[in-house]
């Protein structure tokens, strides 16, 4: 697998919520990433795909909720989010896409 394809597998999608929009004012961008991704891989992928300088990566594992549908208990999948802090002067516009 090429390096570019590996980076696209590392960054699944941006998280566009009220909270992540407020974080963008602090030069932080939030992405969904695979559960197996580590901070170093995430930083490399963001730097290569968006041509920016990453200063820090924080990750959050969000456990899936147990929900009921027609009386049958089910469970949502676990997800992992990465909050990527960008260097001064760098920014990513997640609304444009890749």
**Domain spans of the chain, in order of start:** 3-86
User: First CA to last CA across the chain, in angstroms?
Assistant: 19
DSSP 25: T
* Predicted confidence (pLDDT) per residue in 26-64, tens digit: 999 999 999 999 999 999 999 998 899 999 999 999 999
Query: Domain 3-86, CATH 3.40.50.10320 — does that match?
Result: no
* Predicted confidence (pLDDT) per residue in 72-89, tens digit: 999 999 999 999 999 988
Cα separation, 63 vs 42, whole angstroms: 20
pLDDT computed for residue 1 by the predictor: 67
CB 51 within 8 A of CB 13: no
Confidence band for 98, pLDDT divided at 50, 70 and 90 = low
pLDDT computed for residue 97 by the predictor: 61
Using alpha carbons only, how large is the chain's radius of gyration in Å? Answer: 15
């Amino acid at each position: 697998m090429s390096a570019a394809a590996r980076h696209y597998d590392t960054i699944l999608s941006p998280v566009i919520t009220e909270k992540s929009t407020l974080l963008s004012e602090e030069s932080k961008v939030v992405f969904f990433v695979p559960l197996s991704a580590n901070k170093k891989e995430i930083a490399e992928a963001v730097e290569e795909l968006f041509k920016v300088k990453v200063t820090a990566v924080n990750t959050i594992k969000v456990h899936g909720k147990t929900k009921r549908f027609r009386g049958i208990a089910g469970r949502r999948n676990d997800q992992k989010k990465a909050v990527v802090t960008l260097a001064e002067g760098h920014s990513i516009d997640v609304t444009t896409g890749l």
